[in-house]
Amino acid sequence: MARSPEEIAKTSKRVFETSQLVSHQERVEALLSIKAKLAENKDSILQANALDLEAASAEVMKGNLSAPLVKRLDLGKANKWDSMLQGISDVAELPDPNGIISYASELDEELQLRRVSCPIGTILVIFESRPEVVVNIAALAIKSGNAAILKGGKESARTSAEISRVIRIALSSSSLPEDYIQTVQTRDEITSLLHQEKYIDLVIPRGSNALVSTIQRQSRIPVMGHADGLCTVFLDESADVKKAVRVVTDSKIDYPSACNASEILLLHQSLPPDTWIRVAHSLLSNNVELRCDPPSLSLLRASPEVQSLTNFSTHVKPAIEEIDYDTEFLDTIIAVHTVASLSDAVNFINSHSSHHTDSIVTESSHNAEIFCKVIDSAGVYVNASTRFADGFRYGFGTEVGISTGRIHARGPVGLEGLVIYKYVLVSKAEGGHVAAEFGLASGKKRFNHTSLPLNEGLKF
């Protein structure tokens, strides 16, 4: 018999609480067991994924689903399967994020206070398309000590269900209960779970602006995530042409449907025209559509080199200012805008950016320093592609998502973003310690507040 959303939430909270004595090594063993079981069941998982792809492609033909969403769905594409399994190993090898002491002080003789990292609790993760997210989240949750409830998009339902089945099999033979990672399938279940603030501690949405905004409106549970991936690359007047071509092209075409792909290209008005021509030539050669403001468009129309490209007439278009600079295309499209100064570039980015990741291409250390200080984004890069904004590339093993908020975690959220902390106060004095003995009045004790070494660990 199917369990209600409230029962699912209660179960998740219960298994979280009862699993806190499971050791770090036992969690690592559970991860390696999951990796092995997934490898054993690769054929059945990819068969389910093929069915999802077939159904999703049909929905694209009907106009009910976007093509970029389908691209994210394909688990057999390139090295995605191997990367998914490698992500489990990478997470398993990371240090235990719990039990780390970040503050230690002696308040009084034999009264010691320590701030110790610990799991958040029960996490609800809602995502679209990418079925490998089930594995990513499961690995991070298990390693960090958090229980998780997962909901994928309906377009990946078969794949997610098969992956979840395999994970539960692996967990059933580990020190963790199989309900440590649970999945739900329907929108109604999510609507109900978003009201289970008694049992769920954090919601992490991974998907469209509409998805994130809806969840933020519906739930009183804290929400961590990002709505859009409006990333920008700015070529200042000193930009090296080789760096400009490489960084802009990679930022756009390496994976156009990813949230860290660049959607906007800013050009300094004093940038040598040939630099822009060569960047545009590279983008057009990779079938990227350019939506240009008047200055950048004028330069392209005056360039025989660019005009000679067969797709010039179809892929070079005037930008619609009210739309194109605020659109996450998730496709081979980029909006181009010209600015008069670094200050104008900063103002433009901070006004139009989703505060995900923005990059400057420059040979000026002064401009680079200013850009990094004043751009209000989770990732700020110099002479590097925005595609580096990724938990795996940062060395986090994998990521639970990317946060553009201003809570305890920002940017790619790995293990450290899935732990918080508690204060542990231990008295070893005969009779213990009581607060009434301390104060400023005569006869009262004074606090020592003496710093203690952080590497001594908890002592009881």
Burial of 422: CB neighbours in 10 Å, binned 0-12, 13-18, 19+: exposed
Give residue 227's pLDDT: 64
Q: What is the pTM of this model?
A: 0.80
Domains of the chain (ranges plus CATH)?
A: 5-100+120-225+407-418 (3.40.605.10), 231-394 (3.40.309.10)
Give residue 209's pLDDT: 67
User: Which tokens belong to 256?
Assistant: 């156009």
Scanning the structure block, which residue is given the tokens 């293990």?
415
Could you report the average pLDDT of every consecutive run of 10 residues in the chain (460 residues)? 89 96 97 97 96 91 81 83 92 94 95 95 87 91 96 90 96 96 91 95 81 83 81 97 98 91 97 98 97 97 95 96 93 97 96 92 97 93 95 81 76 86 94 94 94 86
CA end-to-end distance (rounded Å), the chain: 46
Q: Which residues of 232-269 are buried (b: 16+ CB within 10 A; e: fewer)?
A: bbbbbbbbebebbbbbbbbbbbebbbbbbbbbbbbbbe
Provide φ and ψ at 117, rounded to 5°: -70, 145
Can you tell me the distance from the alpha carbon of 46 to that of 75, in angstroms, rounded to the nearest whole number?
7
Neighbouring residues of 59: CB distance < 8 A, sequence distance ≥ 6: 65, 155
Strand-pairing partners, residue 223, are: 203
Longest dimension (CA), the chain: 90
Give residue 114's pLDDT: 95
Residue 321 CA: distances (Å) to CA of 122, 264, 312: 43, 12, 21
User: Which tokens belong to 455?
Assistant: 């590497």
User: Which tokens belong to 359?
Assistant: 């990059």
